[in-house]
Amino acid sequence: MSPHCEKLRSHGLKITPKRQAIIAFFEKAKRTLRPEEVWTPLKKKFGRLGLPSVYRNLESLVECGILTRIHKFDNNRHYALCHASEHHHHHIVCVKCGKIGEFESCRLEKITAVEGFRVLKHFVQLEGVCAGCEKH
């Protein structure tokens, strides 16, 4: 069983053809994608398919850790494949091509309290330029 299928199963989600197609599409693209970019090829494959259904499938894949949400300041939703397992990690995004990297060293884990607050979690995302884009 692929690690993706395991992640789906462990979260009680079915391995549907649509979910498999979405995962395959992300694997092929190797970059961040917007729901609309996923929708176009899915419509070709499955015929009638609403954008809300694409949104729901993307969110369920985020829930089980196969995809991750990527934040950009353009008011669009962006998603990317997350290769890491359950351990603590964050993502770096190439601002030129949308390639995703992962890193584990995170000093924020040490911060357990901020004056007047107990820290529960943190969100970190780095932006950068990947080695491939740096060459051009």
Q: Would you tell me which residues interact with Zn ion (CB under 5 A)?
A: 94, 96-97, 99, 106, 108, 130, 133
Closest CA to 124 of 66, 71, 65, 58: 71
Residues in the chain: 136
Rounded to 5 degrees, what angle do the CA atoms 17, 23, 27 make? 140
Closer by beta carbon to Zn ion, 42 or else 130: 130
With CA atoms as reference, report the closest residue to 127 among 73, 61, 48, 56.
Answer: 73
Task: In angstroms, give the least distance from the CB of 99 to Zn ion.
Answer: 5
- Nearer to Zn ion among residue 80 and residue 130 (C-beta): 130
* Shortest Å distance, C-beta 109 to Zn ion: 5
Nearer to Zn ion, 5 or 97 (CB): 97
